[in-house]
Chains A and B, each alone.
Chain A
Amino acid sequence: MKSRRFRPSAWSKWLVPFLIGLLLLAMLSTFVLVALSVFGYKFG
C-alpha cells in the first residue's frame, strides 16, 4: 500500500489518543453496567 503520511497538527497529537482512550473507557463502562445488571444490581 502506498504510504500516505500526514503531519499531525498540535491538537491531533493529543486529541486522537484522548478520544481512543475515552472510547475504550466507555466500552469498558458498558461491560461493567452489563455485569452489574447480571448480578442483580438495581439501577435508579
Chain B
Amino acid sequence: MHYIPYLSTIVTFAFTAAVFRRYLLRRGPHLLIWSIGLLGYGLGTLSEVILGLTFSAAIVKLWYLAGAMISAAWLGQGTLHLLVRRRGAAWAVTGILAAVSLLATALIVASPITPAAASYQVSQPISSQYQLVLGRSGLVIALTILLNIYGSITMVGGALYSAFIFWRKRVLFNRMIGNILIAAGALAPAIGGSFVRAGLPDFLYLTELVGAILMYIGFLQATTAPATEPVAIPAQ
C-alpha cells in the first residue's frame, strides 16, 4: 500500500505538466483551471507519501484541503469552462469557487489537530486516521461534501455529456474514447472517497492511482490527432 501514493504523485505531476504545457500553447482557461485541480490532486497524493514517512500537522491539513476538499471541484470547474459557452457565467462560478476555496483554506488552517495525533501510525493510510487526527467542524464536512458533489457532476457529467455528443454525431472518435476514460478516472477517487465515508478507507490510495492513470490516458487520447485519416461516410 505504501508505494501507491509515490506512483500516483509521479503520474499526477506528469499529467499536470502536460496540461499546463498545453495551456501555454493554446491558452484555454479550462486548461489552466484543470492544471490547478491536478496540482491539488498531486499535492494530496504527495501528502500521502510524506504522511507515510512521518507525521506532520501541516501536511495532514494540506492533504485534507488539497486532496479531499478542493481538487475535484477545480477539475470540474475546468470542464465547466470547456462546455459553457457564456464565458461570463463560467468566470462568475469560478469566482465563487475561488471564494469558497479561500474559505475552506481558512477553515482548515483553523481546524485543530486532536490529541489522537500522538498515536498516529505511519504504516496506516491517512484516509483511515484523519477522522481521529483532524478536528473538522460541521461546516468543513458540509463544504467537503458539496465541493466533491459539484466536482463529480461537472467533471464526470461533463465528460460523459461530451462523449455522448461525439457518439451521437459519430465524430471525433478519439475524443469520445478520451472523455469516457476521463469520466471513469474522475469517478475512481470519488468512489474511493465514498468508501472512506462508508468506513472502508483502504481503497482510496488505489482509486487515486487508477483515477490519475485513466484521466491522463483519456487526456492524451482526447488531445492526440488520429493516426489515420477519418473514414468518409456518405451523406445519409
Chain A interfacial positions (CB closer than 8 Å to B): 3-8, 12, 16-17, 19-20, 23-24, 26-27, 29-31, 33-34, 36-38, 42-44
Contacts and interface: CB of A to CB of B under 8 A. Distances in A.
Contacts of B134: none
A16 B173 CA distance: 11
Nearest to A4: B230
Interface of B is mostly: helix
Interface of B: 145, 148-149, 152-153, 156-157, 160, 163-164, 167, 169-173, 176, 180, 183-184, 187, 190-191, 193-195, 197-200, 226, 230-233
Q: Is the interface of A mostly helix, strand, loop or mixed?
A: helix
Contact of B172 (A4, A16, A20, A27): A4
Contact of B197 (A3, A7, A24, A37): A37
Contacts of A43: 198-200
Contacts of B145: 34, 38
Contacts of B170: 5-8
A41 to B, nearest CB: 8
Given A23-B183, A34-B148, 17 more contacts: A4-B171, A5-B169, A5-B171, A6-B170, A6-B230, A6-B231, A8-B167, A20-B164, A20-B167, A23-B160, A23-B180, A30-B190, A33-B195, A37-B198, A42-B199, A43-B199, A44-B198
Contacts of A26: 187, 191
Contacts of B157: 24, 27
A12 B183 CA distance: 17
B167 A17 contact: yes
B164 to A, nearest CB: 6
A18 to B, nearest CB: 11
A26 B179 CA distance: 16
Nearest to A42: B199
A16 B160 CA distance: 10
A23 B187 CA distance: 8
A33 B194 contact: yes
Contact of B199 (A5, A8, A23, A44): A44
A33 to B, nearest CB: 4
A23 B190 CA distance: 12
Nearest to A36: B198
A7 B233 CA distance: 7
Contacts of A29: 194
Contact of B160 (A5, A7, A20, A38): A20
A23 B184 contact: yes
A35 to B, nearest CB: 9
The 6 closest A-B pairs by CB, nearest first: A4-B230, A33-B194, A6-B173, A37-B197, A30-B194, A43-B198
